[in-house]
Structure 1
Amino acid sequence: MSLNAVAHLNFHGQARAALEFYQSVFGGQATIVTYGDFGMSADLPDAGKVVFGQVTAGNGFRVMAYDVPGTDGPAAPAEPTTRRENGTTITREPFFLSIRGETVDEVAAVWERLADGATVIEAFGPAQWAPAFGMLADRFGVTWILDVATEYAPA
C-alpha cells in the first residue's frame, strides 16, 4: 500500500488565484473544477468558485485547494500571525507548508517566485541547521518554510 499526505488549503473565494499562482511557482498541471461544473446553477453566487482544485508537478510538488461555499473574504490576514524572534518561531498557526530541495540554487529559485507579494518572516539564507532556510507568508496568507536538505546529526 502507498499513502501520500497532501496539503488541502481552504479559501474564501481565492482558490483559483492561489492555484494559478502555485502553478506559476512550482510548474506542473492545475486542475480546477467549479461548483457550476458539478451542476450548481450558474445564477448562484458560488457557481464559479472552486469545489476541487489541485496542482501536481513532476518535481513532487502537490497541493489541493477549494473555496468554502457561502464565504468571501480577504486573500490573507491583515497581519501575519507568525514571526521570528531571537532565532525562534513564534506562531499561533496550526501548520506550515514545507518545501525542501537538494541545492541552494534549486530552492532559491522557488523562494524568489513564492516571495512575490509575500510577507517575509525570515529571509532566505544560511542557517545553523541547513545550507539555506527561509520563511514567508504568501499573498494568500499561507506560511511556507523553504530549506535545503542536509543530514542532521544531534550533538
Structure 2
Amino acid sequence: MSITTTTHLNFRGDARAALDFYHSVFGGNVAAVTYKDAGTAQNPDEADWVMWGQVIADNGFHVMAYDAPSHTPWNQGENAVFVSVRGDDTGEITALWEKLAAGSIVVRPLEPAQWAPLYGMLKDPFGVVWVLDVAALYTG
C-alpha cells in the first residue's frame, strides 16, 4: 500500500485565478468544478467559485484548491503553510522561481544558502508562501 500527500490551498473567491497561475508556472493540466457545476451553490454570487480544483503536472507537481464559501469560516492566516518545491536541477528551480516571482513579494531571494545550493522564499499574489530549493546531498 502507498499513499501520497497533496497541498490543498483554501481561498475565498481566488481559487480559479490561483490555479491558472500555478498552471502557467508548472504546466500540466488544470481542472476545476464550480459550486454551480456540482449543484451545491448556496449563494448565487459564489456559484462560479471553485468547489474542487487541481493542477497536476508530469514533473510531479500537484496542488489542489477550493474557494471556502461565505457561510464557512475562513481566514488566510499568516505563515500557516509553506508550499515547498524541491528539485535537483538548479536551472529548473531557477526557471520556476522566475515564474512564481511575477507579482510576488520576495521574502528571501533565491540564492545559495548554508544548507542548500539554492534556496528562496516568496509570497505569491494569492498570499501563499512558497519555498523553492535545490536539494543538497546529505552525508551522515
Query: What TM-score do you get using the length of structure 1 for normalisation?
Result: 0.82
Compare the two structures and name the one with the higher helix fraction. 2
CA shift for structure 1 position 44: 1.1
- Paired residues, number: 136
CA RMSD of aligned residues (A): 1.8
Q: How far apart in 1 are the matches of 2:66 and 2:8?
A: 8
**Aligned residue in 2 for 1:131:** 117
Question: For residues 31-70 of structure 1, what are the structure 2 equivalents within 5 Å?
Answer: 31-40=31-40, 44-70=44-70
**Structure 1: gaps of 5 or more residues:** 82-92
Question: For residues 78-89 of structure 1, what are the structure 2 equivalents within 5 Å?
Answer: 81=78
Letter in structure 2 aligned against 1:4: T
CA shift for structure 1 position 22: 0.3
Q: CA 1:20–1:152 in structure 2 vs 1: closer, same or farther (change >3 Å)?
A: same
**Structure 2: gaps of 5 or more residues:** none
**Aligned residue in 1 for 2:86:** 100
Q: How far apart in 1 are the matches of 2:41 and 2:14?
A: 20
CA shift for structure 1 position 127: 0.9
Q: How far apart in 1 are the matches of 2:65 and 2:42?
A: 21
Letter in structure 2 aligned against 1:153: T
**Aligned residue in 1 for 2:99:** 113
Q: CA 1:56–1:43 in structure 2 vs 1: closer, same or farther (change >3 Å)?
A: same
Contact 1:101 1:147 (8 Å CA) reproduced:
yes
CA shift for structure 1 position 150: 1.4
**Aligned residue in 1 for 2:26:** 26
Q: CA 1:51–1:41 in structure 2 vs 1: closer, same or farther (change >3 Å)?
A: closer
Q: How far apart in 1 are the matches of 2:54 and 2:139?
A: 36
**Aligned residue in 2 for 1:12:** 12
String of CA shifts for 1:1-29, please: whole Å, max 9, x gaps: 11011011000000000000000000000
Letter in structure 2 aligned against 1:59: N
- The runs of at least 4 aligned residues of structure 1 exceeding 6 Å deviation read none
CA shift for structure 1 position 62: 0.2
CA shift for structure 1 position 43: 7.7
